[in-house]
Structure 1
Amino acid sequence: MRYSWLPFSLLLAAVLAFVGAAVGTSRSLAELLVRDTERSEAMRTEADLQRLKTLLLDIETGQRGFIITGQQPFLRPYEEALLELGQLKAGLRERLARAGAPSLSLQRLDQLVRQRLEQARVIIARRVSGGDAVMRDLGAYAEGKRVMDDLRFEIDQLSQGQQQRVADADRASLEVQQRTTRLGRLLLGAGIVALAFALALMFRERRLRDTAEAGLRQANATLESQVAQRTEELQRALARIRSFAVELERGVEAERRRLAREVHDQFGQVGTAIKMLTLSLRSKLAPRTEPLVDELQNMAEEAIRSARQISAALRPPLLDELGLEAALSHYLQTLQRQSGLTTTLTLDAADALAPDQANPLFRIVQEACTNVLRHAGASALRVTGKPWQQGGVDGYLLEICDNGQGPGDVRPDASGLRGMRERSTLAGGSFEFGPAPGGGTRVGVWLPLQVNEAAGGGDAGGTW
């Protein structure tokens, strides 16, 4: 496994070898095309040189025929050769210069061609004006022969140069072909060898990976079994913790209920007794008045009110006596009277809730209302409840909505939200916090109507 880079390196080397062979072949083809172009150019130039020689011979032939016969038709080869010679000379000189022919040779060739054409023109003109007398001028014949011999020599020299170019191009092409063949065989052979080694190593790597994967699957199976066992243990522990939390919550509520009764019975009775004694003392002192008696009566009444408020805060008596709807209605009316917040309560089929579910819902409404007063800056608060099916489970949905500034940047782990979420979870339901549809903040709690007995009536696992 540590050497998995090796087959990839060999594959890369094989690819590079094939690419190198392709690039080398492409370059060789390009070079062969250049050599072929040079060879074609040289052969065309040589053919033009031979054509030049042929045209000069046609001029010589036409001149002699006209001198001998004096008839105009014998000048036709001469005239046609002159016409073609003018077109041939320009292209031929350009190709010879491009091929690197010596400039002196080109100048001498041009000079000899002009000289021979001038000789032919003069002899023809003399034959036209002097008749047969021109045939006895051996000097002109000898001079024309000399110029033609020089022309043949120059043309042959230039032709040999073009032939040498053809031979050089053929030799260079052969060398390119041989070099390309050797390089292609070498690179293709190296690529095939590298590819074979890479495939062998990849097959070996595949076998090692299959073995490792089998070991991993076996380890995963063992690990999954251990995880499943551990998960089951954690779930049992979580169920025990939840059950303990539910029992603890019940114990806290029972203690609240006991303390509420104690405060109401003890402090309330003591305050009432003090108030009665004060009233009796006032009647005995009448018609005389005593400010201390009035102050004592006011303190007794304040003690009675405080005892009632503390008792209601610990455990609203209406919650146990008349149920959730009456307790919430009294709480919201008190909240509206004390804070000026407009409150609305609408509960449908609240009696479908179990008695153990009324207390967490009441506490969640208390905490939500406290958050509204502290943070929302709202002027109205609406509490609604209705039966609601969630995931195929019948439940009850309670919503608290305000018209304040909305949730904003409230942290999801804030203490108030965390407390409401924990209460809904312990009751077996789910909790949601976010913006209200018309603006403001919405708090939603969903509790199942049928609760898991194992959790003491408060641990049904709903997700909402």
Structure 2
Amino acid sequence: MRLLTFPVAAGLLLAGCVAFVATAYGEYRSLGELTRQEEVRAHALRTELLISRLNGLLIDLETGQRGFLITGDVTFLQPYESAIRDLDALYAELKAALAITGDQQAPAFARLDRFIAERRRQVDRNIDNRWKLGEAALKDVQAYVAGKQLMDEIRGELARLQSLQQQRIRGIETAVAEQTRQTTLLAQVLPLVGAVMVATAMMALWLERSRRDRAEAALRDSHAALESAVAERTRELSEALARIQSFAAELDRGIEAERRRLAREVHDQLGQLGTAGKMLTLAMARKIAPAREPMLDEMLGIADEVIGAARRIATSLRPPLLDDFGFAAAVQHYVQGLQRQSELIVDVDLAPDDELTSEQHNQLFRLLQEAATNVLRHAGAHQMTIRSHIDTGAYLLRIEDDGAGPGHVRADASGLRNMRERAVLAGGAMSFGPGPERGTRIDVSVPLRGHAEPPTDAPVTAGATIENEEGWG
């Protein structure tokens, strides 16, 4: 029933609309037919009137010539002359009217043509005889009888034509009455059927609406329960994520502390041992002077290498400038060493970092180290640019190179994963993708001290997506 309610309602509404449309169309057709029948009836009445007028003209023709014959008074010829003047035009109009209806009556008009022409000759001859013979013309009884017979024939033909028009009018009136009856029946039945169908459809729609209201209420309850479960699960996941991030931050701080301790141990122990060895070698050289021992020079070189190695290892573990002077100074020192060790040209322009926390200094520096290592290993770049600026409470760092670009690499690359994690540990976000022309671009955004909400819309080069962050590493 649930599946059929709406289709049935739609079908009933459609059927009701069809019924009303059919009613309107039927009434339109009936109106058109009635109009056509009325036009035919009006034409038949006009034709009947033309027949009556023609008959009247013939009567005027007859009475005019008869009055002149009896009295000899020319004033009686006025009806005759008027009838002669209008007879041809009216007769032609009658023929045209019958031709419009398709009822041309050719045999009847042939007889009428002959009869009217003959009667007009008789009348003209009677008038001429009256002018010539005077009252003696009245004694021609045979002409009178012939004229009367001819007029009877003419009247009979006109009466037959008039009877045909009356039959046509009665037929039209019957057809109009039947059409009116059918139209009335159609106008009564179809709207009633349409109204019943529409009412049934509205009832079906009301039932459907009630069912949907109940379904929506149940769905809202289900959504509320689901949202509550999702909120609870989200809270649990957020707490778990916070614990994981806290653990990761604590682990990273532990690693940095261990790096700091190792750097200090390497600097203190290996550096002191190298310095002591160099001092002993110099003392032995002074003792045997002026003699020279080549092995002493070699021992001095080894001591210098030990001292330099201790410094490099201590710096790579934990740059002293990072703790003493911050991110920008440590980057400048790191870039100088990077340029000495490779042919990479590095352009650095960094904004003041006084409002960054020590944790952010550390994470940004490690992220930069990872990015530079990836550029050296994989990009084949000749130049790297490091820029930063402060915008709306955020420190924005951008690292670009002119190398081969991201390319098709692994989705689980450890280099990208490490950089992204360090950006998160710094309280910000990182985006990675191709540069505007070539190479790779990395954008990092971290909030400044006192800005709790990190910006989530770090600049991203067009086309850079997480799916493209495959496998620098």
The TM tier, using the shorter chain, reads: 0.7 to 0.9
2:388 equivalent in structure 1: 384
1:424 equivalent in structure 2: 423
TM-aligned CA deviation for residue 437 of structure 1: 10
Distance 1:379 1:234, change over 3 A: closer
The question of whether the paired residues in 2 share the 8 Å contact of 1:379 and 1:404 is answered with yes
1:27 aligned to 2:26? no
After TM superposition, the structure 1 = structure 2 runs for residues 445-456 of structure 1, keeping only pairs within 5 Å, are: 445-450=445-450
1:399 equivalent in structure 2: 397
**Which of 1, 5, 15 lines up with 2:17 in the alignment?**
15
What is the identity, as a one-letter code, of the residue corresponding to 1:158? L
1:211 aligned to 2:209? no
CA distance in 2 between partners of 1:334 and 1:422 (Å): 26
2:203 equivalent in structure 1: 200
The question of whether the paired residues in 1 share the 8 Å contact of 2:343 and 2:382 is answered with no
1:96 equivalent in structure 2: 98
What number of residue pairs does the alignment pair up?
A: 448
Distance 1:443 1:225, change over 3 A: closer
1:456 equivalent in structure 2: none
What is the identity, as a one-letter code, of the residue corresponding to 1:427? A
1:463 equivalent in structure 2: 456
CA distance in 2 between partners of 1:131 and 1:310 (Å): 165
CA distance in 2 between partners of 1:265 and 1:158 (Å): 143
Deviates more, 1:219-228 or 1:259-268: 259-268
Distance 1:345 1:140, change over 3 A: same
2:76 equivalent in structure 1: 74
What is the identity, as a one-letter code, of the residue corresponding to 1:236? E
Please state whether the residue corresponding to 1:443 is helix, strand or coil.
Answer: strand
- 1:11-30 deviations in Å (ceiling 9; x for gaps): 11111111111111111111
Please state whether the residue corresponding to 2:354 is helix, strand or coil.
Answer: helix
Distance 1:403 1:426, change over 3 A: closer
Distance 1:157 1:429, change over 3 A: same
After TM superposition, the structure 1 = structure 2 runs for residues 338-357 of structure 1, keeping only pairs within 5 Å, are: 338-339=342-343, 341-348=345-352, 350-357=353-360
What is the identity, as a one-letter code, of the residue corresponding to 2:395? L
Give the root-mean-square deviation of aligned CA atoms.
3.9
What is the identity, as a one-letter code, of the residue corresponding to 1:138? V
CA distance in 1 between partners of 2:407 and 2:41 (Å): 85
Distance 1:398 1:130, change over 3 A: same
TM-aligned CA deviation for residue 276 of structure 1: 7.8
CA distance in 2 between partners of 1:157 and 1:335 (Å): 128
1:84 aligned to 2:86? yes
Distance 1:244 1:342, change over 3 A: closer
Distance 1:179 1:154, change over 3 A: same
The question of whether the paired residues in 2 share the 8 Å contact of 1:55 and 1:85 is answered with yes
Deviates more, 1:332-341 or 1:163-172: 332-341
TM-aligned CA deviation for residue 311 of structure 1: 4.0
- 1:155-212 deviations in Å (ceiling 9; x for gaps): 1111111111111111111111111122222211111111221222222222222222
What is the identity, as a one-letter code, of the residue corresponding to 1:448? L
The answer for unaligned runs of 5 or more in structure 2 is 458-473
- 1:208-246 deviations in Å (ceiling 9; x for gaps): 222223322322332222222222212211211221222
What is the identity, as a one-letter code, of the residue corresponding to 1:86? D
CA distance in 2 between partners of 1:90 and 1:295 (Å): 147
What is the identity, as a one-letter code, of the residue corresponding to 2:27? T
The question of whether the paired residues in 1 share the 8 Å contact of 2:381 and 2:404 is answered with no
2:465 equivalent in structure 1: none
1:40 equivalent in structure 2: 42
The question of whether the paired residues in 2 share the 8 Å contact of 1:97 and 1:103 is answered with no
Distance 1:384 1:231, change over 3 A: closer
1:230 aligned to 2:229? no
1:119 equivalent in structure 2: 122
Distance 1:104 1:238, change over 3 A: same
TM-aligned CA deviation for residue 45 of structure 1: 0.8
TM-aligned CA deviation for residue 315 of structure 1: 2.7
After TM superposition, the structure 1 = structure 2 runs for residues 138-149 of structure 1, keeping only pairs within 5 Å, are: 138-149=141-152
2:316 equivalent in structure 1: 313
CA distance in 2 between partners of 1:88 and 1:371 (Å): 114
Please state whether the residue corresponding to 1:347 is helix, strand or coil.
Answer: coil
Please state whether the residue corresponding to 1:339 is helix, strand or coil.
Answer: coil
The answer for unaligned runs of 5 or more in structure 1 is 391-395, 453-459
CA distance in 1 between partners of 2:321 and 2:235 (Å): 42
- 1:259-286 deviations in Å (ceiling 9; x for gaps): 5456556666777788789889999896
1:393 equivalent in structure 2: none
1:244 equivalent in structure 2: 247
Percent sequence identity over matched residues? 43
CA distance in 2 between partners of 1:95 and 1:372 (Å): 105
- 1:272-329 deviations in Å (ceiling 9; x for gaps): 7887898899998966868xx9888777766665554444333323213432222012
Normalised TM-score (structure 1): 0.82
The question of whether the paired residues in 2 share the 8 Å contact of 1:368 and 1:443 is answered with no
The question of whether the paired residues in 1 share the 8 Å contact of 2:389 and 2:397 is answered with yes
What is the identity, as a one-letter code, of the residue corresponding to 2:39? T
CA distance in 2 between partners of 1:128 and 1:412 (Å): 135
CA distance in 1 between partners of 2:10 and 2:150 (Å): 75
What is the identity, as a one-letter code, of the residue corresponding to 1:182? L
CA distance in 1 between partners of 2:404 and 2:75 (Å): 118
1:455 equivalent in structure 2: none
CA distance in 2 between partners of 1:370 and 1:246 (Å): 23
CA distance in 2 between partners of 1:301 and 1:187 (Å): 113
**Which of 119, 123, 131 lines up with 2:134 in the alignment?**
131
